[in-house]
Structure 1
């Protein structure tokens, strides 16, 4: 026992000054990194679920994807359909389980569920067969999800039917014991982003969902967008001016260091809106082949790379025959993060 205690003491972390570090508490505290108006988007195909045969397998993959989005502070996830047009599900019953017939809708549903602060899910997302195993998915634990140890100047809330004491304005549930009051009249069961009054924690102002990121410098979760094809990932971009830097991933691409040589001053890449597109089990070339619009433009097979500014292989010399898309997200984003780290 004494030997164990000595060994444990040796492994305790020390600061540069020789002081012991308390590792019993989490080291990640949400501090604003400076406001930013640039964004990072990720696009994934519905075929990421094509190898799954059971619901627990599907929820596991979605959980891994959502964790990658949160860990790397991704602002938008685009879900595109890469299946052959003739095989796509039509007239899907919105009240039925869709994991096996409408993978894009299933991904969208569960990713929205995970991004939403837990306290408001019961109000805004009713019980559904898609969510039967949702309790097994990992928490994202983002700044927009309230925590008793954190106090941030922004929060997410859902409006209630109750009225403030003065009769004017709207009561908003923000996951605390007491609701906050805003001066606007907003219908019940509406999700809004709030900026808390500096002088009164029970008063707030409704703001645009991008304000915590642009003005406060906080990562505030991701938005989801569905597309019918690979081409519409670009065409239906919600950012003014579109994506000004795009990266496609393929085992036939070049390595990340080759595509983005290390700069002497290590300055981040220049962009306003970055898009990183990942393929499914059969790759982005298959997505282009199943896109009638790209077919008409002659962009198929090896010409798929012409859609992107960069065509990269995230892990040359992989030891497995395949890298699952949820694995590729962690590998690719870890390698590409230097493009925006410190931006």
Structure 2
């Protein structure tokens, strides 16, 4: 028998006895309710520094992928005053006219389950190549044959009368009926129940978008909001009590390990409820502070004074600069230990 045929059979046997790698196996498994949240803030000016539409779109895709991988619950796109904005171009194109909105727009599109995008996002020049970006494939991006007690859907029609029902398309073979009157073409989070008596629909309940996380521990994607300045990241926080732990990133900060080391005076106890990590643009968070009139009038002169921790993600970095999209990956990787410690409490 030729040697090469013998080797091929041995390789085939080895593959047959190994794990099946033909499809992803890292399926998110909820581990009970989760009340704490992880937020990330970054300036839209990073879009202005990318030269072409494709580069701008790819940059957003990198950030969205990082947030999906590390289970970020909220993204805040803030205006650091470092990018010029003007009226949108013909057709509403904002990549060059309003980079803050462009970042917000594409991030929101990518978070939306693919089966809902066509209904929720009309044709728009901002999104013309967004569909070619790598999929986020988050737990709420469910296939039609996959079952989960929660699903995202879009309302189709609402009945009238004393007890109105709304029919929702959740990407299943059957429509879902919920006992509430909701405007058509509205995205809604649904908790699924039993099939209706006649089997024509599945009965469900409309729930808050955070219910899958708070009730069952699912990672259910991220919300996106815009902030007009550095200070409004905090003053417009949607969580009761605000962010109880804020981390600013800067090459002039303390090493990241200082907040992870229990022996360090800068150690952060894993008792927080709402953590936000804030990244600067090309000119750093110091430039965002200088552009913020509210902070200037309040006498805030040092950016680090705004945060509970002021950290350097990569001490002794080999490159003069770390791009914001790189810093997001590095930062979320470095903070994973702190987040896991909070999760295990």
TM-score, scaled relative to structure 1: 0.89
- Residue 191, structure 1, aligned to residue 187, structure 2: yes
Contact 1:230 1:291 in 2 (8 A): yes
Pair 1:83–1:159, CA change in 2 (3 A): same
3-state SS in 2 of match to 1:288: helix
Tell me how far 1:4 sits from its aligned partner. Answer: 5.4
Tell me how far 1:25 sits from its aligned partner. Answer: 3.1
1:331 is matched with 330
1:80 is matched with 78
3-state SS in 1 of match to 2:202: coil
Name the CA distance, whole Å, in 1 between partners of 2:268 and 2:80: 35
1:43 is matched with 41
Name the CA distance, whole Å, in 2 between partners of 1:24 and 1:9: 16
3-state SS in 2 of match to 1:276: strand
- Residue 23, structure 1, aligned to residue 27, structure 2: no
Contact 2:153 2:171 in 1 (8 A): yes
Name the CA distance, whole Å, in 2 between partners of 1:197 and 1:93: 46
Contact 2:92 2:124 in 1 (8 A): yes
Pair 1:82–1:267, CA change in 2 (3 A): closer
1:69 is matched with 67
Deviations 1:232-262 (A, max 9, x none): 1111111111000000001111111123214
Name the CA distance, whole Å, in 2 between partners of 1:94 and 1:285: 34
* Map 1:1-343 → 2, pairs under 5 A: 1=4, 2-3=6-7, 6=10, 20-84=18-82, 88-92=84-88, 95-148=91-144, 150-161=146-157, 168-198=164-194, 202-262=202-262, 269-300=270-301, 303-341=302-340, 342-343=343-344
TM-score, scaled relative to structure 2: 0.88
Pair 1:158–1:263, CA change in 2 (3 A): farther
Name the CA distance, whole Å, in 2 between partners of 1:62 and 1:259: 29
Name the CA distance, whole Å, in 2 between partners of 1:36 and 1:122: 31
Uncovered stretches (5+) of structure 2, i.e. residues with no partner: none
Pair 1:263–1:202, CA change in 2 (3 A): farther
Pair 1:199–1:178, CA change in 2 (3 A): closer
Contact 2:158 2:181 in 1 (8 A): no
Contact 2:259 2:268 in 1 (8 A): no
Deviations 1:47-68 (A, max 9, x none): 1113211100000000001111
Of 89-98 and 331-340, the range deviating more from structure 2? 89-98
Name the CA distance, whole Å, in 1 between partners of 2:179 and 2:202: 12
Name the CA distance, whole Å, in 2 between partners of 1:7 and 1:312: 49
Contact 1:268 1:338 in 2 (8 A): no
Contact 2:194 2:202 in 1 (8 A): no
Tell me how far 1:280 sits from its aligned partner. Answer: 0.8
Tell me how far 1:23 sits from its aligned partner. Answer: 2.9
Contact 2:92 2:125 in 1 (8 A): yes
Pair 1:20–1:53, CA change in 2 (3 A): closer
Pair 1:97–1:244, CA change in 2 (3 A): same
Tell me how far 1:296 sits from its aligned partner. Answer: 2.1
Name the CA distance, whole Å, in 2 between partners of 1:175 and 1:92: 34
Contact 1:155 1:194 in 2 (8 A): yes
Name the CA distance, whole Å, in 2 between partners of 1:336 and 1:323: 17
